[in-house]
């Protein structure tokens, strides 16, 4: 593979973003993902900001324009009709004015908005746009703790694997056994028309995704009931760490904008969440693990979800242990951090979140390790990220086979082109 210069890489990143830009929102990729996805969009905004700050704010505002009255921000907004994706709005049937899905996704918005604000060259515009988003993001954070942490433990559960963004992670396998498949309405998958079925979740997993969707739909998408009624309730450390980091970032931003109440509420959420994260730590694995809220047990599955907490202000000793785990993984895989430990017999180098490397989570891990002072590991991750991003933009792969580094051709994903590693304007911010 010919290697690209930094300028060429930036040009290609911009090309991919423009290709997926729908005017007021960005689709993750043509074909496979033809609508607006929640966390993809927030991360994409960071890339857009490098050449159009106003457009970057619009990206997040469009998403929040479809926030539910209870505060939830849905994982998909179906702005336009397209028969290229399943399950579409006719399956979700959430009854929203513009159709949306009925579940949520990792809460990266608070982090993204703070970063947009910090890097903005137009500070007046940034204060105005961030100020209007603040109460909406705060309402979403409140929604999480009210609806997904019923015992007020400081950690929220996901009730559908799609909420994690790591759709078919090995983390969900055991809890997924409890999800029945009887009564699932007949369906035709569209994803495998766009991507190699060997890289996608299995049919059995799809049956379970669909069973949960139908179950929640049968409960009228009433968020006050869904958590307790779900046979799948998993506390994902990565998901919680993103929410904790976003809460801390929102608190800082609110302080800067003179919104003391929002600042205090988010500071308190972050503090409680960080303390509660200790329950998920595993010395044996050198990382955090998922907690199955129904069995009350930690899930013995070493995925990137347990390394991602480096993104939040976890204790120094935990960050150092995670740094050592990343180093250990680097000895086994050509690139780090793979979505799952290659030593696990269930590791599957090409199947979506069961082995391949994903740029966006590595970006967050590196950002966190940098803040924790794990600088030599951060340097290694930074170099690896550059090489991955160049490969990613060269062809069409979005994730990489972690053992050999071969691209898994899937899509030109806008979220990976967030340009964070190549900003010519502010090299000190690059990771």
Q: Which is nearer to ligand DGY, 36 or 389 (CB)?
A: 36
DSSP annotation string for 284-334 = TTTEE--EETTTTEE----BGGGTGGGGS---HHHHHHHHHHHHHHHTTSS
Helical (H) or strand (E) element with 158: none
| Cβ closest to ligand DGY, residue 149 vs residue 167 | 167
The residues facing 397 across adjacent strands are 409
Task: Give the nearer residue to ligand DGY in terms of CB position, either 162 or 422.
Answer: 162
**Which residue number places its CB atom closest to ligand DGY?**
162
Shortest gap between Cβ of 43 and ligand DGY (angstroms)? 14
How many contiguous H segments (helices) and E segments (strands) does the chain have?
16, 10
Q: Which residues contact 375 (CB under 8 A, 6 or more apart)?
A: none
**Residue 86 beta carbon to ligand DGY: minimum distance, rounded to whole angstroms:** 8
Of the candidates 145, 109, 105, which has an alpha carbon nearest to the alpha carbon of residue 130? 109
Tokens of 315: 């204790």
DSSP 429: G
Residue 412 contacts residue 397 (beta carbons within 8 Å): no
Interacting residues with ligand DGY (CB under 6 A) = 75, 162, 167, 191
Q: Residue 64: in which H helix or E strand, if any?
A: helix 53-64
Which is closer to ligand DGY, CB of 88 or CB of 338?
88
CA distance 51 to 36: 20
Q: Which residues contact 311 (CB under 8 A, 6 or more apart)?
A: 238, 241, 242, 245, 364, 365, 367, 368
Question: Nearest approach, Cβ of 162 to ligand DGY (angstroms)?
Answer: 4
Nearer to ligand DGY, 75 or 285 (CB): 75
* Assigned token pair, 186: 């007949």
Q: How far is the CB of 286 from ligand DGY (least distance, A)?
A: 28
Residue 56 to residue 197: CA distance in whole angstroms: 33
For ligand DGY, the closer CB: 170 or 372: 170
Provide the minimum distance between the beta carbon of 206 and ligand DGY in the complex, in angstroms, as a whole number: 9
- For residues 167 and 353, give the distance between their C-alpha atoms in angstroms, rounded to a whole number: 7
We find the least distance from the C-beta atom of residue 33 to ligand DGY, in angstroms, to be 7
The CB-of-66 to ligand DGY minimum distance in angstroms stands at 15
Distance of closest approach, residue 309 Cβ to ligand DGY, in angstroms = 22
The pair of structure tokens assigned to 19 is: 């290709």
Smallest gap from Cβ 293 to ligand DGY, in A, equals: 22
Pick between residue 33 and residue 281 the one whose CB is nearest to ligand DGY.
33
Nearer to ligand DGY, 199 or 245 (CB): 199
Task: Give the residue with the Cβ less far from ligand DGY, 105 or 240.
Answer: 105
């Amino acid at each position: 593979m010919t290697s690209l210069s930094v300028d060429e890489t930036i040009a290609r990143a911009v090309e991919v973003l423009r290709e997926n830009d729908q005017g007021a929102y960005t689709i993750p990729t043509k074909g496979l993902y033809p609508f607006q996805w929640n966390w993809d969009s927030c991360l994409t905004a960071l890339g857009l900001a490098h050449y159009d700050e106003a457009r970057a704010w619009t990206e997040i505002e469009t998403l929040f324009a479809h926030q539910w009255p209870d505060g939830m921000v849905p994982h998909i907004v179906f702005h336009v009709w397209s028969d290229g994706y399943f399950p579409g709005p006719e399956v979700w049937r959430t009854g929203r004015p513009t159709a949306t899905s009925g579940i949520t996704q990792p809460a990266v918005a608070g982090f993204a908005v703070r970063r947009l604000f910090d890097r903005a060259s137009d500070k007046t515009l940034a204060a105005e746009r961030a100020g209007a988003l603040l109460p909406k993001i705060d309402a979403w954070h409140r929604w999480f703790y009210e609806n997904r942490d019923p015992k007020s433990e400081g950690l929220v559960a996901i009730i559908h694997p799609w909420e994690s963004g790591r759709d078919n992670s090995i983390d969900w396998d055991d809890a997924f056994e409890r999800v029945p498949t009887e009564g699932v309405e007949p369906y035709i998958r569209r994803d495998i028309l766009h991507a190699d079925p060997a890289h996608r979740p299995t049919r059995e997993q799809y049956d379970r995704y669909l069973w949960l969707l139908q179950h929640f739909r049968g409960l009228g998408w009433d968020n006050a009931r869904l958590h307790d009624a779900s046979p799948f309730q998993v506390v994902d450390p990565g998901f919680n760490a993103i929410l904790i980091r976003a809460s801390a970032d929102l608190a800082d931003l609110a302080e800067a904008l003179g919104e003391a109440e929002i600042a205090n509420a988010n500071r308190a959420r972050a503090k409680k969440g960080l303390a509660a994260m200790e329950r998920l730590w595993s010395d044996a694995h050198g990382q955090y693990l998922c907690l199955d809220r129904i069995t009350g047990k930690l899930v013995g599955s070493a995925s990137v979800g347990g390394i991602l907490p480096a993104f939040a202000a976890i204790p120094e000793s935990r960050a150092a242990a995670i740094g050592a785990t990343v180093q250990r993984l680097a000895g086994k895989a050509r690139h780090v951090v793979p979505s799952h430990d290659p030593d696990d017999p269930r590791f599957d180098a090409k199947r979506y979140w069961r082995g391949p490397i994903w740029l966006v989570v590595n970006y967050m891990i590196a950002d966190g390790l940098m803040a924790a002072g794990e600088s030599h590991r951060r340097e290694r991750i930074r170099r690896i990220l550059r090489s991955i991003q160049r490969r990613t933009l060269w062809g069409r792969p979005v994730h990489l086979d972690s053992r050999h580094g071969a691209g898994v051709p899937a899509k030109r994903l806008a979220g990976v082109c967030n340009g964070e590693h190549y900003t010519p304007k502010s090299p000190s911010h690059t990771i």
